[in-house]
Amino acid sequence: MRPSVSFDPRAYWRATLQRILLLLAVWLLAGPVLGILLVVPLNAYTLAGVPLGFWMAQQGSIYVFVVLIFLNAWLADRADRAFGVDETPESTQHTYAAPH
């Protein structure tokens, strides 16, 4: 990690919180809202012969969660590079002396 001279921790934290809140909002929509609260209206539609509300509660929300995990990692890496605190091969090299 190589913080630049102009690194602003407050701006970095604000960007991190915005990312987390956005991803949590998507999680809230995909999980509890679509999978529980709106299951009955969604069941009026089908996906591959399965009621959509049931599919979202059993399968769709899991797919969304997995995508959110990878999206969070990708966005966090992008933010780290933007703020100059990303890990590079030079910043993560460790000297290790093998025991004799």
**Mean pLDDT for the chain overall:** 89
| DSSP bridge partners of 50 | 47
Whose structure tokens read 């969660």? Answer: 65
pLDDT digits (tens, 9 = 90+) for 63-82: 999 999 999 999 999 999 99
- Amino acid letter, residue 88: T
Would you give per-residue pLDDT tens digits along the chain (100 residues)? 555 457 899 999 999 999 999 999 999 999 999 989 999 999 999 999 999 999 999 999 999 999 999 999 999 999 999 998 888 777 777 666 667 6
